[in-house]
Amino acid sequence: MVTALQFSGGKDSLACLHLFESEWDDIYVVWVNTGAAYPDVIEYMEEWRQVLPNFVEVKTDQPGNIAKYGWPADVVPINSTSIGRKLMSGDGPVIQDYLSCCGRNIWAPMQSAMKDLGATRIIRGQRADDSHKGPLKSGQLVDGVEYVYPLENWSEQDVFDYLRSVDAQIPSYYAKGEVTGRDCWDCTAYLEENVNRIQGLPDEKRVEMERRISLIDSAISSEWHGRSIIARSAP
């Protein structure tokens, strides 16, 4: 059996890492470096690289992906997508849906790494009360691979309580009210959860993020304006 633990450095995957400490010599701990991670995340992962016997870094090119497919957003105006730009004139930003962005830069590369490692047991920090989660349940077998979610029935408070009980090095950004990970500093999606993270960016980066989000809002409003006119004129 080949075991791989998918590690983002966030609280949930960190709790999984500590839960399986007795197996560190025998499991792969896999992190996806998107090329847009925060400097403190890079440092954090370097520290773990020195500790974990089988640390695997998967490198992707989020900046290149953004240049090709556009900024991620929670709502996507069709004419602003990469294919929409080929069909419609416009000088606004190119925009992609956030699921595609995460898929290209994190999820698909992680899954490819699992296949390359020959993993037959995959450990994830997914909880049943997560707002965003995959459809599988802990213990489920798919194509001969067992998916293990040790925190499936834990609450967020359970996770923090456990991490404190084992003196884990909890990332400092949680104390600032941030609830999302730091895979990409320039993520313009998940805005319902991302406000504190964006506001906590250094001034130059925060201003740039605010500029991008404003342009995305304008593109959405511009495209939706025509639809709202039709709706108002309907009998």
State how far the Cα of 66 lies from the Cα of 93, in Å rounded to an integer.
11
Would you state the pLDDT for residue 226?
Answer: 60
Average pLDDT, the chain: 92
Confidence of residue 89 (pLDDT cuts 50, 70, 90): confident
Domains of the chain are 3-233 (3.40.50.620)
Residue 233 has pLDDT above 80, yes or no: no
Which of 140, 174, 137 lies closest to 159, judged by CA? 174
pTM, to two decimals: 0.90
Structure tokens at 40: 């403190």
The contacts of residue 200 (CB under 8 Å, 6+ apart) are 173, 176, 178, 206
Beta bridge partners of 59: 33
State how far the Cα of 183 lies from the Cα of 86, in Å rounded to an integer.
30
The contacts of residue 113 (CB under 8 Å, 6+ apart) are 4, 30, 32, 56, 58
Lowest-confidence region among 116-120, 156-160, 229-233: 229-233
Q: Tell me the range of 81-95, 186-200, 217-231 where mean pLDDT is highest.
A: 186-200
Per-residue pLDDT tens digits for 100-126: 999 999 999 999 999 999 999 999 999
Q: What are phi and psi of 63, to 5 degrees?
A: -55, -40
